[in-house]
């Protein structure tokens, strides 16, 4: 667990136990159709894997470094992070740029891919 907080580990354990007891079906995990009967829907929602299972994995993972190197979207995609931009480039000005719009020679300013000079 990233925080190491036993409260979050206990809550996640209860969620996992409940899912295994009430939502596990032959082909995955289904939502409950009728609470009183316990009948299931005949499908597994895509968000179950992209959200619920992902967050349970991250909670119990002993290797949280995954989030140090990748961006995990709410849709379950694992994306490489974008290159870091300097504060000057995020305001529309490239670090070390002159009034003519070009970077000064030898100033060490790096151009981020996709930020081609015009």
| DSSP-derived 3-state class of residue 67 | helix
Token output for 112:
């981020």
Q: Which residue has the tokens 């995020």?
A: 90
Q: Give me the tens of pLDDT residue by residue for the chain, a chain 118 residues long.
A: 666 789 989 999 999 999 999 999 998 999 999 989 989 999 888 888 888 888 888 888 876 677 777 887 777 778 888 777 777 655 555 555 444 444 444 444 444 444 444 4
Half-sphere exposure of 118 (CA within 13 A, CB side): 5
């Amino acid at each position: 667990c990233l925080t190491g907080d036993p409260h979050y580990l206990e809550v996640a354990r209860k969620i996992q136990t409940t899912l295994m007891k009430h939502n596990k079906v032959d082909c995955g995990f289904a939502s409950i159709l009728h609470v009183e009967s316990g009948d299931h829907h005949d499908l597994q929602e895509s968000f179950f894997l992209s959200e619920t299972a992902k967050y349970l994995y991250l909670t119990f993972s002993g290797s949280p470094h995954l989030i140090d190197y990748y961006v995990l979207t709410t849709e379950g995609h694992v994306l490489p992070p974008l290159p870091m931009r300097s504060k000057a480039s995020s305001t529309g000005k490239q670090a070390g740029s002159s009034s003519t719009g070009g970077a000064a020679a030898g100033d060490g300013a790096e151009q981020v891919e996709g930020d081609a000079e015009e």
